[in-house]
Chains A and B, each alone.
Chain A
Amino acid sequence: MADVVLEAKGLSKKFKKGESHRSLRDFIPALAKRAAKGNLGLGKEEFWALKDVTFQVERGEAFGVIGHNGAGKSTMLKHLCGILFPTSGELKVKGRLSALIEVGAGFHPDLTGRENIYLNGTILGMSRAEIDKKFDAIVAFSELEDFLDTPVKRFSSGMYARLGFAVAAHVDPDVLIVDEVLSVGDFLFQRKSVEKMRQVMKSGTTVVFVSHNLRAIADLCPRSMLLEHGQVAAIGASGTVIKAYMERGAADSTPDESKDAYISKVTLRDIKGAEQVQFESGDTLRAEVEITARRPTTKLAVVIEARDEELYDVFNTSTQRLDHPSFNLDAGEKFIVAFDLKLHLVPGTYHFGCYLYRYDIQKNYDTRVPAGTFYVRANIDVRGVANLEPRLVRHEMLRSEKVG
């Protein structure tokens, strides 16, 4: 009998669309209406954020969760963490559960690094004695020894994130929930974080990993689950589940209400402007990304990427890295970004993805992976990643000079 530490049985959650009753003036008439109508089934403004989700995770397992925006991933995680409670169904968790959902939540800007380690540590469920013991390890991991007595408001966003991750990574839970946090800090720190993740997994901790980085899911988790419209669309070996996900392609993702701004449309075109997904190696692809703001949002940048069939990163860049100033949007405004990309790629299938990102606070507003799939052909047989456009310029025997 397998040792199940996490079990969801028919987990369902009903949400209301739109504004809930924020003031008494709205609430009292609504209450009267509800009393008159009764409260069974789905109301006009209600929808199932999760519907009949059933799965099990065994002790020591690394379990991946993937799905498009609005598929219910975050809602599910919040149930696992005990922040939200299901409308119906059951959820069982054995042991201490800790979540790396938003690192540094609970930091107070006016407090110093040291004070925040203790504050955040207790919020995440450690005792003060436990933090005393782990303090040096946390500080060493964050590499912030010299800034312990500086208020964190003077920290750069990278330092802030590092400290947050360092505290969260030292909670030593029985079940660890990870949501997209491995994209924190600079490149070296990311490597360190992934290393720490692997170490945590090796030590026998059960991990539930939610990410848009399908490569990371494939690498870290043997088993995964695909959520779609709040339901389990596929569950099983990660390879199969990821394939199912990719096949559904750039399914229309419904951005959930909580997003301030989102990627509303992604179009792949050829150089003439016609929609196109078939390209010759060396052709130019024009990727258009349309952003829509629901609420005023500032300092936005667009990140794009291309991945090969195995989901290895082939290429990525962003408006910021191309030295374009970030943009601000008011509620209801739309913004378009178009990139011309020269496809010096070997023949194959590629997935285009994009992110709406704010650099200074490292906030990801929206993700579209994959946003589209395109195919590259070439009239020569080249393999690998890049088409370096080989031209054979010499192909001859060298005259050997005989040594007398």
Chain B
Amino acid sequence: MLLDIIFNAFNGLIAGSFYALMAIGLSLILGLNGVINFAHGGFMALAAYLAFTLVPYVGFWGALVIAPLLTGGVGYIVEQLVVKRLYLRDPLYSLLATFGLALIIQDMLRTIWGAQGLPLAIPDFLNQPLSSTYFFVTGYRLFVMVLAVVSTAGLFAALRFTRLGVRIRAGNKDLETISAVGVNILLLRSANFMLGIVFAGLAGVLAAGQLGLTPTMGDQLIMPSFVAIVVGGVGSLLGSLLGGLIIGVASGITTAFYPAGSEVVIYLIMGVMLIARPRGLLGQEGLFE
């Protein structure tokens, strides 16, 4: 039984690191752009499908780099055409607009690539368990976990040490002031939106390597990321990371005792968090209380 719990906790940690990766892009956009991006899952799926098309030409590794960047480009266009126009309005507008976008992207994927599930080939050496005891730790899942940690660390470093990063952080705190000192906040928000979408794309390609592609793949992955943000704290990137890991592990451990409750438990945690500490673990005060 103890081994079973340890297995499931460890397995949850792997799943959680993946939620965290998705949640970070969402959290970036929510922070500076003030947009609850319901189309995040759609962009993930878009990147995954682009990767599927690219793999025969540039291989898995090439696609893992190029597809998220291309999706970031699409994200930029969408921001310019749609999201940008809604910054001054009530957040409900951008929420509805991105929800609509999510549906548009999903139907577009279905039209172009078909409703049929498609496999995304990953390198063989990653596609097997590392040991027969820990059969659920495949090379690929370990790789996803490491990549989640590395890219999150990279993002933190960028926010800390680059000029763009410092501006994004400052904008998170007080957009009007940095605008007053001469920062082009429209450009800053565009760049930030794009960065968030690149993260979504990265998560999407990685998810496809494990689960394959379906037009609705984003829907299945997006909800845990929202929960991760709420639990970790809106506006805090570190909180999103922590939130992802917590719900992953909690869901894993629950499986050992009561498999049917493994999904409910993450919403229970969210519910408890919203009652006891609405700002989340590391969230800024004031956003939700």
The reply to whether chain A is a binding partner of chain B is no
B-side residues, CB < 8 A to A, are none
